[in-house]
Amino acid sequence: MKAVVWHGKRDVRVETVPDPAIQDPNDVIVQVTSSGICGSDLHLYEVLGPFMREGDILGHEPMGIVEEVGSAITNLRTGDRVVVPFNIACGHCFMCAEGLPTQCETTQVREEDKGAALFGYTRLYGAVPGGQAEYLRVPQAHFGPIIVPEGPSDDRFVYLSDVLPTAWQAVEYAAVPPGGCLLVLGLGPIGDMAARVALHRGAGLVIGVDLVPERLDRSRRNGVRVLDLTQHDDIGGAVRELTNGRGPDSVIDAVGMEAHGSPAGKLAQQVASLLPDAISAKLMEKAGVDRLAALHLAIDVVRRGGTISLTGVYGGMADPLPMMVLFDKQIQLRMGQANVRRWVDDIMPLLVDDADPLGVENFATHRVPLDEAPAAYANFQEKKDGTVKVLLKP
């Protein structure tokens, strides 16, 4: 089969690799019909390279048709149309029963001291081959895959793999009061969708901050009050002006480890990337730092007693945080990978609604053949050609 394969920093290629096969009775094989490129894939493209292995298959946002089922599978059959969540979980351990499949005790990558295994996301999360490919082996398929109806296009359902539950959980964790104000930092796919979810769920004002014109225009059209980071010397002051000087009730940081405006963190990441992978990985595991501009802005601007929800991926082990400010302002802080299956029942009615209240049908800016993945990665990383969300079509 063809698959998107990692070869190094900013070097992904479409290559022919062996077809996946059933390895466990709870496996299924899915023929992939759509697979997204996620913002967190760009971290693999850039700063998390030391945790990748040449030849790793990328991707964790797939959907498709069940091609083959393992002998223990009773919930799926050949021909079912399914979305595959990015986290791999058993559904019956203590953590899964607690609604935390991202911490699944069956698939935890204990040798790396990490949570549940993920598709296509470094050795830290199991080095499981990903879904930017023509076929995908899905472990723990008695729990993971979500059956979706025939008829509507893939665009209606594919975001159940990651974007929608990640945005939904971000809003849930943000605890925006009815009619309250939410600030979203970063209007990439997750920030954009989180803003849509928050407005749908009754936020009175959603403010979005970004510096990419296409992202700002897109969110503005959806009712978000946007602020262009490049047009304000004091973005925190601009947010406070819109919130009676108090700051927003809640902030979602949808930026993560590669925030603009963090020169020291950027330099540290660049230095680490120049070292041999084995040394660089050890350095990042013990002393890694993130570019924290977005998180520091969230802490500065959220109102006293407010809530910050982190959904952008962070990987630093030695990040300095202003603990006195967090404590003094009585800020609540929630974060973590999205527990996909926990939110499916809340989200699915919106996807089968003909009105398409979250605008998923037109959420992708680019739909390209799998062979064009390298150019799509480059455009997404460089924010060129209006690229906000890419769906690969194997």
113-149 pLDDT per residue, tens: 999 999 999 899 999 999 999 999 999 999 999 999 9
Does the pLDDT at position 321 exceed 90? no
In this prediction, residue 47 carries a pLDDT of 67
Domain extent at residue 140: 2-161+339-393
The verdict on 252 and 145 lying in the same domain is no
Tokens 């209606």 sit on residue: 156
Q: Are residues 346 and 308 in the same domain?
A: no
**Which of 335, 356, 378 lies at the terminal end of a domain, its last residue?**
335
Are the C-beta atoms of 115 and 86 separated by less than 8 Å?
no
For the chain, give the percent of residues with pLDDT over 90. 81
**Consecutive H or E run containing 341:** helix 340-351
Among 16-20, 61-65, 133-137, 327-331, the range scoring the smallest mean pLDDT is: 327-331
pLDDT of 265 reads 42
Per-residue confidence band for 20, with pLDDT thresholds at 50, 70 and 90: very high
Residues 288 and 348 in one domain: no
Q: Is the pLDDT of residue 393 over 80?
A: yes
pLDDT at residue number 50: 76
Give 275: exposed, middle or buried? Use CB within 10 Å, 0-12, 13-18, 19+. middle
Residues 190 and 312 in one domain: yes
Taking alpha carbons only, the member of 234, 177, 169 closest to residue 205 is 177
Centroid of chain to Cα 349: 22
Task: Assess whether pLDDT exceeds 60 at residue 360.
Answer: yes
Instruction: Output 281 or 132, whichever has higher pLDDT.
Output: 132
Task: Determine phi and psi for 238, rounding to 5 degrees.
Answer: -65, -40
Q: Give the residue, 285 or 217, on which the prediction is more confident.
A: 217
Average pLDDT, the chain: 91
For 28-46, what is the mean pLDDT?
93
Tally Cβ neighbours within 10 Å of residue 202: 11
**Comparing 82-91, 160-169, 308-317, 326-335, which segment has the lowest mean pLDDT?**
308-317
Kindly state the tokens that stand for 293: 């501009």
| 355 half-sphere exposure, CB direction, 13 A CA radius | 4
pLDDT in tens, 164-186: 999 999 999 999 999 999 999 99
Q: How many whole angstroms separate alpha carbon 126 and alpha carbon 2? A: 21
Q: Are residues 65 and 187 in the same domain?
A: no
Task: Provide the pLDDT confidence category of residue 51 given band limits of 50, 70 and 90.
Answer: confident
Q: pLDDT-based confidence at 323, cuts 50/70/90?
A: confident
Residues 177 and 98 grouped into a single domain: no
50 and 104 housed in the same domain: yes
Structure-block tokens of residue 218: 């897109």
* pLDDT score, position 283: 42
Of 35, 30, 26, 75, the C-alpha closest to 364 is: 35
- Residue from 41, 26, 39, 28 nearest 135 by CA: 28
Read off the CATH number of the domain in which 367 is found.
3.90.180.10
Contacts of 383-388 spanning 24+ positions with Cβ under 8 A: 383/212, 386/214, 388/188, 388/189, 388/192, 388/214, 388/215, 388/218
Instruction: Tell me the pairing of strands 146-147 and 81-83.
Output: antiparallel
What is residue 279's predicted lDDT score, i.e. its pLDDT? 44
Task: Pull the structure tokens for residue 41.
Answer: 């894939």
Domain identity same for 232 and 260: yes
**Residue with more model confidence, 200 or 278:** 200
Q: Does residue 146 sit in the same domain as residue 219?
A: no
DSSP 167-214: HHHHHHHHTPPTT-EEEEE--SHHHHHHHHHHHHTT-SEEEEEES-HH
pLDDT class of 43 with cuts at 50, 70, 90: confident
Handedness of CA 37, 43, 49, 50 (dihedral sign): negative
Greater confidence (323 vs 33) lies with 33
What's the average model confidence in pLDDT over 266-284? 46
Tokens at 338, concatenated:
């999205």
- Banded pLDDT at 285 (limits 50, 70, 90): low
The whole-number pLDDT of residue 272 equals 43
Cβ atoms of 131 and 309 closer than 8 Å? no
132 and 206 fall within a common domain: no
Number of domains in the chain: 2
Q: Can you say whether the dihedral through the CA atoms of 59, 61, 66, 70 is positive or negative? A: positive
Rounded-to-integer distance, Cα 122 and Cα 189, Å: 21
Q: What is the CATH number of the domain that holds 311?
A: 3.40.50.720
192 lies in the same domain as 327 = yes
* pTM for the predicted model, two decimal places: 0.91
Whether residues 157 and 173 share a domain: the answer is: no
Mean pLDDT of 30-54: 88
Give me the pLDDT at residue 218, please: 96
Of 302, 275, 295, 296, the C-alpha closest to 286 is 275
> Phi, psi at residue 213, to the nearest 5°?
-55, -45
Domain end: 291, 309, 335, which one? 335
Flag whether pLDDT at 259 surpasses 80.
Answer: no
pLDDT digits (tens, 9 = 90+) for 21-33: 999 999 999 999 9
Q: Which domain-ending residue is among 335, 353, 372?
A: 335
Q: Is 287 a residue whose pLDDT tops 90?
A: no
